[in-house]
Amino acid sequence: MTPYEAFSDALLPWIIRIAGLLWLVGAFMLFRQIRVEMALDRMTSRIEEMAREMRADLPPEGDEGEDEDTYGDLDAPVRPRKTTAEEKATDAWIDRDDAARRGWIAGQAVVLAATAIAMMILHPFAAWLTALLVLGQGVYFIWREHTARHAPTAEAAAHARPTPATVNAAWFSLVIATLVWAAAFRGLLK
């Protein structure tokens, strides 16, 4: 065994353990993000419901003053813009898509947490779990692109595509998975 191989055999397990620790923290952050998004969705839904109730309680407005220019007048009443049926349908589509995306991410977060624990204890199953994680990310990107192509509007399509941070995380996952596979090949996972 060359000095380089001995050095890499000593360093690689520590890199994998540190990456596992980071992934475990990342899994908890994903769970936290999902909880926050679900709470925000519930609050937004409740606010919209309260706004509808308040609008129903208001007396009907007359047409007087509709043509009046109130730009810059702080005391002028705010006239809400009417939401079109197309905008309502797009909002409903985005809400359903967000719920499906959150479900997928929650499943991936479970795999991420299991992979992180396996990596931290250098368990041989870490190699299989990293493969599952990378495969899941590939399926996620294909699904998101398919969803974006079938979105009702350009705004919904942009919302459906993965963010650059998600793409960078997938590349990082592939690098770490390669290190785990190399460690498994070298017999460092026991």
DSSP conformation letters of 45-97: HHHHHHHHHHHHHSPPP-STTTT---TT-TTSPP-PPPPPHHHHHHHHHHHHH
Residues 120-147 as b or e (16 or more Cβ within 10 Å = b):
bebbeebbebbeebbebbeebeeebeeb
90: which residues sit within 8 A by CB, 6+ positions away? 152, 153, 155, 156
- The ranges of the chain with pLDDT < 70 are 58-81
Q: Give the model's pLDDT for residue 68.
A: 61
| pLDDT recorded at residue 71 | 67
pLDDT at 53: 83
Q: Cα separation of 190 and 187, whole Å?
A: 7
pLDDT for position 190? 84
pLDDT of the residue at 114? 97
| pLDDT at residue 39, as a whole number | 92
Return the pLDDT at 147.
Answer: 94
* Contact (CB, 8 A) for 127 and 181: yes
Q: What is the Cα–Cα distance from 143 to 170, expressed in whole angstroms?
A: 15
What is the distance between the alpha carbons of residues 165 and 147, in angstroms, rounded to a whole number?
19
Q: What's the pTM?
A: 0.78
59-101: pLDDT as tens digits = 665 544 455 666 666 666 666 667 788 888 888 898 899 989 9
